[in-house]
Structure 1
């Protein structure tokens, strides 16, 4: 079952209902629309209004005067605890500079299921951590046949996450629609 979203726009006002299994967000700029949906749902189901969004699907939402910050600090710490790396040595970057991973028959094979599970969790984590996106894309290329070198690269990402567990995305309050972007590429390894 995936994430489902229904959006309604009436007279330029938007109301959105986002559902994942038994978790739900109702949001928008139409307070009457939000109230109408809450009443309709309450007539059919037992629901509980938890107030402003603070945590959803492993993503923490923190509001301040500066804007809204999305992070997955708890998700990172839970992942590190799961793999026994809460006390690991820290890394200052998610991947070693100029690292070239490849498939070689003489490499020590790793547990494929464990590797796939870890990389899958890193892929989900990269939603709020664009700083690991490149490193995760590199290690995800070897999910069909991981080796010790590939797992070492995953471990490096985890060590980096330990050093920056609370980092996330900041959506600043401002009066303009300018978008700041982030990019981390190596131009297909040509340089």
Structure 2
């Protein structure tokens, strides 16, 4: 506790305390760490995984593949595909694991990777084809990453959406949300909902509830870090019925659980 309180001083004092209590070495400005590349500009900081993406393409022999503009086809439904041939399960699991780590800087592939991770126990060639489609998309967006502006401010904005009955087996919807702090993405997630929603409004409302929980946690964390947010946090949802229920939570036929 004493050391934690002492770290609240200026950077020079903190560096001296670190030298006294730990054996450390100053490596200069951060440029590369755990596959994440850090580039500083006059406007802010850019975080990317260019080398990590190149390593994935190289290991799979996809450096010469044809680039794709999208990670997966629109409205594509995924099945277990028992009639399709089995593929190399170890390779499939390895690719999914590397893509899961890659989405730490790439929220644009989070939805696709979340769906494909359901089939790691019994992958088929149809599933591997979609994974290769993601690799083709990575080749066309190797330099894409996260930009953290220097003067972005401290306004928190949330976006949420739901894929109603997205799972063809369990009939569950998927929740997806993205939180921006000062224009930079700080939290995103896509996950299958725990219950079956009987309408798109119900699925969207559950997505809003999940996003609000994350917003409250982010607000608590920023308050602990003595960061004051600029005003209230707007939450954007593209479902009109869900917005009406959130603004006026009275009895409504769409909220009737009987």
Measured against the shorter chain, the TM-score band is 0.7 to 0.9
CA distance in 2 between counterparts of 1:106 and 1:162 reads 30
Q: Could you say which structure has the larger radius of gyration?
A: 2
Q: Which runs of 5+ in 1 are unaligned?
A: 1-7, 15-28
Give the deviation of 1:151 after TM superposition: 0.2
Q: Secondary structure at the match of 1:52?
A: coil
Aligned residue for 2:11? 30
Give the deviation of 1:13 after TM superposition: 2.5
TM-score (norm 1): 0.78
Residues 1:144 and 2:125 are matched in the alignment: no
126, 141, 147: which one pairs with 1:164?
A: 141
Give the deviation of 1:188 after TM superposition: 4.1
Aligned residue for 1:92? 69
46, 52, 56: which one pairs with 1:79?
A: 56
For these two proteins, the number of residue pairs brought into alignment is 166
Distance 1:127 1:182, change over 3 A: farther
Contact 2:36/2:48 (<8 A) preserved:
yes
Give the deviation of 1:153 after TM superposition: 0.6
Distance 1:94 1:73, change over 3 A: same
CA distance in 2 between counterparts of 1:37 and 1:151 reads 48
Aligned residue for 2:97? 120
Q: Which runs of 5+ in 2 are unaligned?
A: 167-172, 174-199, 201-258
CA distance in 2 between counterparts of 1:143 and 1:181 reads 31
Identify, as 1 or 2, the structure richer in helix: 2
TM-score (norm 2): 0.59
Deviation sequence 1:138-188 (CA, Å, 0-9, x none): 111111100001000100000000000110111111262113556675344
Aligned residue for 1:10? 5
Report which structure shows greater RCO (CA 8 Å, sep ≥6). Answer: 1
Distance 1:183 1:56, change over 3 A: farther
